Amino acid sequence: MAKLITTPNLAHPDDFYAKLIATHDGLTEDDSMALNARLILTLANHIGDQAVLEEALSVAKATA
Amino acid sequence: MFQDRYSLAFKLYPYAHSPDQDAAAPVRHPVIVVGGGPIGLATALDLGRQGIPVVVLDDHEGIGMGSRAICFAKRCLEIADRYGCGEPMLDKGVVWNLGKVFHDDRKVYEFNLLPEAGHKFPAFINLQQPYFERFIYEQIVEEQKKGAPIEIRGKNRVDGMTVAEDHVKLDIMTPDGPYQLEADWLMACDGASSPLRSMLGLDFEGQVFQDSFLIADIRMKTSSFPTERWFWFEPHFKSGASTLLHKQPDDVWRVDFQIGWDVDRKEELKEENIRARLDAMLGEGVEYDIVWSSIYTFQCRRMKKFRHGRVFFAGDAAHQVSPFGARGANSGMQDVDNLGWKLGMVIRGEAPDSLLDTYDEERIHGADENILNSTRSTDFITPKSKVSHIFRNAVLSLAESYEFARPIVNSGRLSVPCVYDGMSLNGPDALPGGPARTRPGASCPDAPLGDAFLLNQLGNRFLLLTIDADAPDSLTEDGVAVTRLALSRDQDPSGALADRYLGDGASAVYLIRPDQHVAARWDSYDETAVRTALRKACGKE
């Protein structure tokens, strides 16, 4: 069974983080929320595996 | 004393004084059905066709006005066809396959139901509920002519009931005053606000959705729309938070506006206000008549149990869903389909009383599936929080350009029959490589047989369907007879039968219930195994 990767997996974390923040440049708070929603849905479809997605949801919720 | 709660589309069974009203003591009937809606009438039809005397009590004298349920699904039509009234429904109904989804002023995507070939009935027809009920009623009249012991009493309102261990006593009001009846078995098909449920003080819990919907049925005078299902999220014409347009027979279109919770119903139902919404949607110069209009709200909820001793609840009286997905009347018909043969067998002494408990098991499973699906549709159509609204619109934005998001769009997951997986009447699934769709618990899918169809040869009794397998032509186990339907791949040029019933197997033996659900299946005939499965399917194991 596939498992959520919780160890480092991004080759260039600074590059990704900078791109993520830059993508939100100039957006209102509502537009940013909408963008995040589209992003989550797009990534979720790419992952596809319900068990992995539920694990990711738990991680996100538990670390608040 | 007698006030109509609604006006009638068809007056069919005017009040007539029954000799029972003059009897010294309450007359006892085997089965009384309370409620003359589609579910009550279908129950009477099912039992009457089995020769079981049934009396229907309706507080009106026919079928109520208004289109109400308009979308009837394949399984519901197949059940009606088993009762003999599926074909007139199909002839009158509108068949549609194409659906379009809009957001604001943009088309998000369109879908085609892509019907599978080789079925007598399409995935859906649109048909106004009064027609659906009238076709059932007309079949009752046909069956009465052939001697079916069905009696319908108009303007007979049940005002009270007393439930005993082995019967039920009813207090009934008529234009001639009150009388009493007794019944061995009582079917409560008295609708969402079920007075019988209240009389018994039974629970009915679930989720109330705080939104109202305005229905307008319109007949176009100058223009027309295609025979398609159009659904708008947040339409640019601002006539509602969502809007549905759907064609019905007689050149009538159903328009359904989501108008919010806090509305002045009387104000909204004024013709000029309905027309303002319609005109904004249809544009200038489109002429139409308003045939019927109504405002509705809904709940998703069910009773904890549908069987209460000698009393059974069915249809909206037992469970309610949102209208999204056409799961109201369609699931009620599956209730009737499920209970009819079981009650018949128990009344004839062919099966134990415990068989009736499986009505609860199987139909509560069905109701829960419908409630789950219709609640999810409702949450998508009417988001309850800001974040839910943002995600909903994110799905719609993505769906415009990307195919992956389209399956997430939920404007109603259209009703399909539930499978009674893992339930106590099911026997073994001993057909290696057999298709999942015909596993024990599933309703049989149709298949063409020459110029005819498979389902017309199944149902009403236990049946052994063999495909390229030997078996005796009949057998009887503890008073229950099974007859064989012998088929072969030679009769299946389209390959649909093999695809739906054999899968990777070379031969198959199916034990099929009177409601056309699969009880068990094997790759070859084994007498002991069939007898055991038959006992199990009758609640005897």
Q: What is the pLDDT of residues B379-431, one digit of tens each?
A: 999 998 999 999 999 999 999 999 999 999 999 888 888 999 999 999 999 99
| B390 close contact with A: CB closer than 8 A | yes
Please indicate if any CB of chain A lies within 8 Å of the CB of B401: no
SS3 label, residue B338: helix
The answer, for A60 touching chain B at a CB cutoff of 8 Å, is no
Q: Please say if the pLDDT value at position B42 is more than 70.
A: yes
CA B193 vs CA A10, B172, B264, B302: distances in Å: 58, 18, 22, 12
For B397, the closest of A30, A38, A40 (CB atoms) is A38
- Verify whether the Cβ–Cβ distance B398 to A33 is below 8 Å: no
CA distance B82 to B457: 9
Strand, helix or coil for residue A61: helix
**CB distance from A5 to chain B under 8 Å?**
no
Choose among B538, B515, B537: nearest CA to B49: B515
CA dist., res. B195 & res. B173, Å (int): 14
Q: A41–B397: do the CB atoms touch at under 8 Å?
A: no
The dihedral over CA atoms of B33, B38, B372, B380, expressed in degrees to the nearest 10, equals -150
Rounded to 10°, the helix B386-401/A29-47 angle is 60
What pLDDT was estimated at residue B46?
Answer: 98
Written as six digits, the tokens of B357 are 């408990």
pLDDT over 70, % of chain B: 100
**Phi then psi for B364, rounded to 5 degrees?**
-70, -40
Q: CA Rg, chain B, in Å?
A: 24
Contact B394 A45 (CB under 8 A): no
Asked if residues B317 and B188 have their Cβ atoms less than 8 Å apart, the reply is: yes
**ipTM score for this prediction:** 0.96
**Inter-CA distances, B311 with B14, B172, B226, Å:** 27, 17, 45
Q: Which two tokens stand for residue B123?
A: 């995935």
CB contact under 8 A, A41 and B387: no
Is any Cβ of chain B less than 8 angstroms from the Cβ of A42? yes
Does A34 sit within 8 Å of B394, measured CB to CB? yes
**Which of chain B's residues have a Cβ under 8 Å away from the Cβ of A33?**
387, 390
Please determine, for residue B298, whether its predicted confidence score (pLDDT) is greater than 90: no
Average pLDDT rounded to a whole number, residues B37-59: 98
CB B147 within 8 A of CB B135: no
Handedness of CA B349, B351, B354, B357 (dihedral sign): negative
The structural domains of chain B, with segments of one domain joined by +, span: 8-94+124-204+301-370, 429-537
Q: Which of A9-18, B59-68, B475-484 has the lowest mean pLDDT?
A: B59-68
Shortest distance between the Cα of A26 and any Cα of chain B, in A, equals: 19
- What pLDDT is recorded for position A1? 56
Radius of gyration of chain A (CA): 13
CB B482 within 8 A of CB B475: yes
**What residues of B are in contact with residue A40 (Cβ under 8 Å)?**
391, 394
Distance CA B335, CA B315 (A): 7
CA B156 to chain centroid: 25
Cβ atoms of B129 and B10 within 8 Å: the answer is no
pLDDT of residue A21: 97
* Fold that domain B8-94+124-204+301-370 belongs to in CATH: FAD/NAD(P)-binding domain (3.50.50)
Q: Are strands B27-34 and B71-73 parallel, antiparallel or unpaired?
A: unpaired
Distance (Å) from the alpha carbon of B379 to chain A's nearest alpha carbon: 17
pLDDT exceeds cutoff 80 at B223? no
DSSP state letter for B517: B
Tell me the residues of chain A between 8 and 37 that have a Cβ less than 8 Å away from chain B: 30, 33-34, 37
Chain-wide mean pLDDT for chain B?
Answer: 95
Distance between B405 CA and the closest CA of chain A, angstroms: 8
CB proximity B394 to A under 8 Å: yes
- Give the model confidence (pLDDT) of B300-343 as tens digits: 899 999 999 999 999 999 999 888 888 889 999 999 999 999 99
Is it the case that residue B436 has pLDDT exceeding 80? yes
Does B1 have pLDDT greater than 70?
no
Query: Best residue in A38, A43, A46 to probe B by mutation, most B CBs within 10 Å?
Result: A38
CB contact under 8 A, A45 and B405: yes
Nearest to A37 among B394, B402, B404 (CB): B394
pLDDT of residue B147 exceeding 90: yes
The pLDDT score that the predictor gives to residue B285 is 82
Contacts of B405 in chain A (CB under 8 A): 41, 45
In a 13 Å sphere around the CA of A45, the CA atoms on its Cβ side amount to 15
pLDDT over threshold 90, residue B210:
no
Determine how β-strand B319-320 pairs with β-strand B448-449: unpaired
Crossing angle of the two packed helices B329-347 and B357-381, in degrees rounded to 10: 180
Residue B385 CA from chain centroid, whole number: 32
The verdict on B403 touching A (C-beta cutoff 8 Å) is no
Amino acid type, A62: A
Residue whose structure tokens are 């020459």: B450
Contact of B398 with chain A, judged by CB distance below 8 Å, is answered with yes
- Give the mutation candidate from B108, B387, B401, B404 for the A interface (greatest A CB count, under 10 A): B404
Phi, psi of B151, rounded to the nearest 5 degrees: -130, 130
Nearest Cα of chain A lies from the Cα of B382 at a distance, in angstroms, of 17
First to last CA, chain B: 51
- Tell me the C-alpha distance between A27 and B173, whole Å: 68
CATH C-level class of B429-537? alpha beta
**pLDDT at site B114:** 79
The residue with greater pLDDT, B158 or B115, is: B158
- Give pLDDT tens digits for B64-103: 988 889 999 999 999 999 999 999 999 999 998 899 999 9
Residues of chain A with C-beta less than 8 angstroms from the C-beta of B402:
42
- Of B391, B402, B404, which is closest to A37 when you measure between CB atoms? B391
pLDDT tens for each residue of B438-488: 999 999 999 999 889 999 999 999 999 999 999 999 999 999 999 999 999
pLDDT of res. B283? 85
Between CA B63 and CA B65 the distance in angstroms is 7
